[in-house]
Structure 1
């Protein structure tokens, strides 16, 4: 899950449109025996790193339709930063009859700014809910990674490196994480009155009493379904619904074994950036892993599962030289194709990978209200 992308604000695009979709007024159930309640995909709204991959409201609207009509998902996890982008995307998804999981994720901003960003998005989520949309609200994602002041480091990359190197005090980190998570939950409760959640890393220790839904970014790899089930059951001990807020893998042989660090195979010091080593591209590996995990989640009757992610514009696919096929390091279920591969300003489009088709077959086999 490449969460090192730059994130910035964009020009105001659109306010909330009136939505007229069916209300899903049932409270979230803790567990079930009839498959997943919500099947979806993560849609990141960041602007991108180059002019060619900048935010586009028109592209977003086409993508939301594709998520509904081609991927056959019933849920969109709208994440990233920029209140205008987040709210415009959430409104579009709701208007199209999709269940919205709105999760603002502001990287490398102050704690005060992060909470204000959260509050603005939460107020909008509440407006959608009151208008009849089916919406859950997540106060954020892996705060130790995205929010300065919990783990040493001014940027996401610095914090990741300090965690990997052990350059942090785990007791102090947990105390800071608990304090900020409680603040975020309190803000979320003030502005949003539906189901509240948070997306934690697998090993995070979270007081889930603060939330209605347990949320986990899940990137484990096992050969047996029973091992996944054993690991996931520990998140059910709170007696609350469990949402898999991210699951997925990259597009090369061996990627599932790398888990949440599968993206770390790009040499960013090279110009152009290139893949390290001699990876072998494999869309089948990615698709098989996603379907395997989906089988597990379905068998456990979890509340929701959102595949990570729909598209990664800054990791384009290239066929001329595998060394520059950055899509191998992407968790995206689509591949970004640039019109002019060497031009940062080039236009682009996405094409479905095997993972897209595999999920579409599974999602399409379930009845989704429209």
Structure 2
């Protein structure tokens, strides 16, 4: 895809309003059980030339995720079964629990199912080899799969969702049908735990899956996630995150919407103030919430956003609109193909300390 995931995170949430419900109870005795704590890691072609997947960079990143971030899990997502498989195998080699999610958009539904099938076969081989693997059949199909809501591409579907230009009954029927189709394919090629990366307020038939997965960008998880907790299945937060400016947490999944892409080069709209501290505070607060709620897994979105470089001039500091926990530095401000590197943000170090303090799961958990 030619567009960053962060540029349309909020669309599914705009289509519905979460019910107000009672908070879920904390774990008896106040003790926390081990949690799969990790980060989302993308594979794919990149948003701009020079930012796509590279094997050597991937190996270095996963080493840092395991050794420096103290993660014990990683959610590997994106396009290209071979890239997904290589990244998952490398993660497993570091002892990480692997949540593998093929993610395609703006291609025919049959191609999405074929992509899932091939990725699932790789996941099954990895599982049979002894790795801890969860297969996710996809992410927020209402956005990624053509035909569920009107729109020729993801951005047009986002606009239709936000403007109400869709039939919710038809949308739900088509979403349910495609989700069931994906679940059947996932089961046919993979024998381990199966899930689907849903927007937290998306209506899903969770009987199809072993694990409930919620992509969550809010600040009241006990209220918002309580309906899932009552279903009697494990609930994982497969995405949570915050952009890197003051007030970004209040914007949640719309935090990315501060870049004017009609300009060349793109620039930040308004007078935002960079705040790595605010991003770190949001992430560590939510992780504490999820651990106290006894959730079995939680994944920070995102590890790195190479197409959104950090620059000293705040007008062109696209990292402000990034959810990543590392900042990308281009060797040449105008062309990432000339080389780039990343540096840890405050959030990286804060999460590393928090990850290291959380209870450690045994190999069998």
Same topology, TM > 0.5: yes
Asked if 1:334 corresponds to 2:326, the answer is yes
Contact 2:47/2:307 (<8 A) preserved? yes
2:108 alignment counterpart: 110
Per the alignment, do residues 83 and 68 of structure 1 end up closer, same or farther by CA in structure 2, a change over 3 Å counting? same
Aligned-pair CA distance for 1:346: 2.2
1:26 alignment counterpart: none
Q: Which of 350, 360, 365 is 1:358 aligned to? A: 350
Contact 2:78/2:103 (<8 A) preserved? yes
Aligned-pair CA distance for 1:54: 2.5
Asked if 1:286 corresponds to 2:279, the answer is yes
Aligned-pair CA distance for 1:306: 0.3
The number of residue pairs the alignment matches comes to: 340
1:67 alignment counterpart: 65
Aligned-pair CA distance for 1:369: 6.2
Asked if 1:253 corresponds to 2:255, the answer is no
Contact 1:219/1:260 (<8 A) preserved? yes
1:275 alignment counterpart: 268
Q: Which of 82, 85, 92 is 1:84 aligned to? A: 82
The 2-side partners of 1:47 and 1:35 are apart by 38
1:180 alignment counterpart: 178
Aligned-pair CA distance for 1:162: 0.8
2:150 alignment counterpart: 152
The 1-side partners of 2:306 and 2:7 are apart by 11
Contact 1:4/1:157 (<8 A) preserved? no
Asked if 1:312 corresponds to 2:305, the answer is yes
Q: After superposition, where does 1:1-370 map in structure 2 within 5 Å?
A: 2-3=4-5, 33-221=31-219, 227-319=220-312, 321-366=313-358, 367=360
Per the alignment, do residues 215 and 44 of structure 1 end up closer, same or farther by CA in structure 2, a change over 3 Å counting? same
Aligned-pair CA distance for 1:281: 0.7
Q: Unpaired segments of 5 or more residues in structure 1?
A: 7-30, 222-226
Q: Unpaired segments of 5 or more residues in structure 2?
A: 9-26
Contact 1:5/1:49 (<8 A) preserved? no
The 2-side partners of 1:132 and 1:111 are apart by 32
Aligned-pair CA distance for 1:177: 0.2
Aligned-pair CA distance for 1:5: 7.5
Aligned-pair CA distance for 1:231: 2.0
- Deviation string 1:318-341 (CA, Å, 9 cap, x unpaired) is 01x101000000000000001111
The 4+ residue runs of structure 1 with deviation greater than 6 A are none
Which SS does the other structure have where 1:149 is aligned? coil
TM-score (norm 1): 0.89
Aligned-pair CA distance for 1:97: 1.1
Aligned-pair CA distance for 1:303: 1.2
Contact 1:36/1:297 (<8 A) preserved? no
Which SS does the other structure have where 1:51 is aligned? coil
Which SS does the other structure have where 2:5 is aligned? coil
Aligned-pair CA distance for 1:345: 2.2
The 2-side partners of 1:100 and 1:313 are apart by 22
Per the alignment, do residues 285 and 4 of structure 1 end up closer, same or farther by CA in structure 2, a change over 3 Å counting? closer
Which SS does the other structure have where 1:52 is aligned? coil
Per the alignment, do residues 71 and 368 of structure 1 end up closer, same or farther by CA in structure 2, a change over 3 Å counting? farther
The 1-side partners of 2:166 and 2:86 are apart by 38
Aligned-pair CA distance for 1:2: 4.5
The 1-side partners of 2:48 and 2:248 are apart by 26
Q: Which 10-residue stretch deviates more, 177-186 or 230-239?
A: 230-239
